[in-house]
Amino acid sequence: MSLDIDHGDPDPDTDDPEEITVRLEILGTGCAKCTKLEEVTRAAVRDLGLDDTEIVKVQDITSIMTYGVMTTPALAIDGNVVVSGRVPSQADVTSLITTALTARE
| CA 97/CA 48 separation, integer angstroms | 9
Helix segments in 1-105, DSSP class H: 32-48, 61-65, 90-104
Considering the candidates 6, 14, 31, 66, report the single residue annotated as catalytic.
31
| pLDDT tens column, 44-93 | 999 999 988 999 999 999 999 999 999 999 999 999 999 999 999 999 99
Burial (0-12, 13-18, 19+ Cβ within 10 Å), 77: buried
| CA 85/CA 33 separation, integer angstroms | 9
Considering the candidates 34, 40, 76, 97, report the single residue annotated as catalytic.
34
Domains of the chain: 20-104 (3.40.30.10)
Q: Is 34 a catalytic residue?
A: yes
pTM for the complete prediction?
0.80
**What would you report as the CA-atom Rg of the chain, rounded to the nearest whole angstrom?**
13
Q: Is 31 a catalytic residue?
A: yes
| pLDDT tens column, 21-46 | 789 999 999 999 999 999 999 999 99
